[in-house]
Chain A
């Protein structure tokens, strides 16, 4: 973890380029037979780029995010970050790389309902440090303020869905990630909240200079991306690109 030293808003180094080479990923079907989910010969995402992943359900958008995050290993090929292959790192090193590099935003927010707003935002800091410290709390407050969250002491369980997703984004940003992965971040929200969250997510990623990769069906969100990659629905399809 990189300790949060300053109370200022979202930021990041902007460094980091993602490269996937010859990556394949197979899953097993209900009959136990493997089928190919991803087959990516080459995919490069530049530092600070905002990329949307689009495709029908089951096309492998979420799997691609998990692959990039190092939560699953590719069947073949490699995932590199800043020229360093991260897909074959040992589990502990991959955990550390993920913690220091990536901020994850989920479709269902996945906040801890029993913790309050501040505790949820600072949760990633507890993975590596015993105490959050004044600087960490100040950063959580700044992030919450940026997300329009006034009360840090409210339990996550009593927040509206829009507020919950804003807390989740603040949590993803807390460790100053240079790569933000968002899996259907607006899918659980109504249109008004979805637009609000989409705007916030792209704005804070831009402010932080972080690379943003969003898997989504949300046209409005994808329209905010610099580039959209189409993930095929059929077995063995490779992503095709189009300008947003």
Chain B
């Protein structure tokens, strides 16, 4: 038997109802798919952004606050930790690498991050896509998405608490708080990382300290840097000179830093360092620990959303089934005629069931597409807002979810088909 001519005839006859059913199912699927895929993309991308931050040390305070400021460059006022720790850590045999992270300044809305050249190159893992890493005070290396060109002069401004700069734009707040007489030359650009650091301008930490009048962390004879003006406020900038930057710093002159990133040599060393720097006026933690807590909260939110979207799917399926039962009822005479013409019951059941299963299947496919589009759109918004690039991919979980919905939808589509099976043909003919 071939029920498809009748199935297609039914779908043509139902046109608008069919479209409504497809749209309803697609909506249910899209919501479910988008929630799952978005949450996973956020989790993965945020974890990837934290890859080079094995252990964070800062002044006692909120771990989440330090993590958000350091890894995701969300501006916040952080207490400083003693800069002399940098030297101590660099000499610690459990430590493979250590770098200070200092932030607070901005230029054209981009965060200026003071660190070491080694960390800017993420300890040898990254090669600049253009130019080179900074090698002297007054030089800067740009994140992949920073809208400066190599050779441009970068004018820093002091970041103000509560000010939310827009990347690429100079607003009044930034203009008012400019560090007059200071500037950086862009000498290189980093490859894209898919993290908020793509929108950061990385400079030697010594420069950040000097901009704020804290010296440069090195002995005076080392710090004869002609680039930095003497606070004349003339805005005059001079070409950078050779000067020593990076670790070690001069013990008595190291200013405080908001965060220190440590790459331990071993897991045991990592735990020992964390234990040691959890006391004595410092705070140490693995970003993964905080992320797990955040993910738990995210997971809770997701679970609530999943329950809501499941209820939504159930309601939509129930509405669809009621609609299908009503439609099958309205078409009772048509099916009775088929029976009178000699169609077996199985044919009529197939016509009704296949028609409905096709609609639900089409809704599922459309929903997958819509879910992907919605996730992409939200990812775009998140990236525009935070710089965190969310990589979206439909995975087995979403496919399983959609298959399950299709299976349930198809199974309950049997209801109107079976109702028509039970209905005597002559009753339909007499309607």
Contacts and interface: CB of A to CB of B under 8 A. Distances in A.
B345 A130 contact: no
A50 interface: no
A82 interface: no
B347 A127 contact: yes
A61 to B, nearest CB: 13
Contacts of A172: 341
Contacts, number: 82
A71 B425 contact: yes
A127 B341 contact: yes
Contact of A126 (B2, B13, B337): B2
A115 B340 CA distance: 18
B425 A127 contact: no
A62 B5 CA distance: 29
A124 B396 CA distance: 43
Specify which of A91, A96, A110 lies most central, judged by the most chain B CB atoms within 10 Å of its CB: A110
B3 A71 contact: no
Interface in B378-431: 424-426, 429-430
A44 interface: no
A114 B344 contact: no
B424 A102 contact: no
Interface in B332-358: 333-334, 337-345, 347
B6 interface: yes
B9 A112 contact: yes
A98 interface: yes
Nearest to A171: B341
Interface string A94-123: 011011101010100010111100010001
B1 interface: yes
B91 interface: no
A95 B342 contact: yes
A89 interface: no
A66 B342 contact: no
Q: DSSP majority for the B interface? A: helix
B5 A127 contact: no
B1 A110 contact: no
Interface residues of B, number: 27
Given A72-B424, A72-B426, A113-B13, A95 B1 contact: no
B122 interface: no
A128 interface: yes
A235 interface: no
B9 A114 contact: yes
B342 A175 contact: yes
B340 A71 contact: yes
A95 B344 contact: yes
A123 B344 contact: no
A142 interface: no
B2 A95 contact: no
A131 interface: yes
Interface string A4-17: 00000000000000
B12 interface: yes
Contact of A127 (B9, B342, B424): B342
Interface in B1-50: 1-3, 5-6, 8-10, 12-13
B426 A123 contact: no
Contacts of A85: none
Nearest to A66: B426
B9 A124 contact: no
Given A127-B1, A130-B2, A110 B426 contact: no
Contacts of A114: 8-10, 12-13
Given A126-B2, A126-B3, A96 B9 contact: no
B333 A112 contact: no
Nearest to B343: A127
A175 B430 CA distance: 25
Contact of B429 (A71, A112, A124): A71
A187 interface: no
A92 interface: yes
A102 B1 contact: no
16 contacts: A62-B430, A66-B426, A71-B425, A96-B342, A99-B343, A104-B340, A110-B337, A114-B13, A119-B5, A123-B6, A124-B342, A126-B5, A126-B347, A127-B338, A127-B342, A127-B347
Q: In the A-B complex, list the 3 residue pairs whose CB atoms are closest, starting with the nearest.
A: A99-B342, A114-B9, A114-B12
Given A71-B425, A124-B341, 15 more contacts: A1-B342, A62-B429, A62-B430, A98-B342, A99-B341, A104-B340, A110-B337, A114-B8, A114-B9, A114-B12, A115-B5, A119-B9, A124-B342, A124-B343, A126-B5
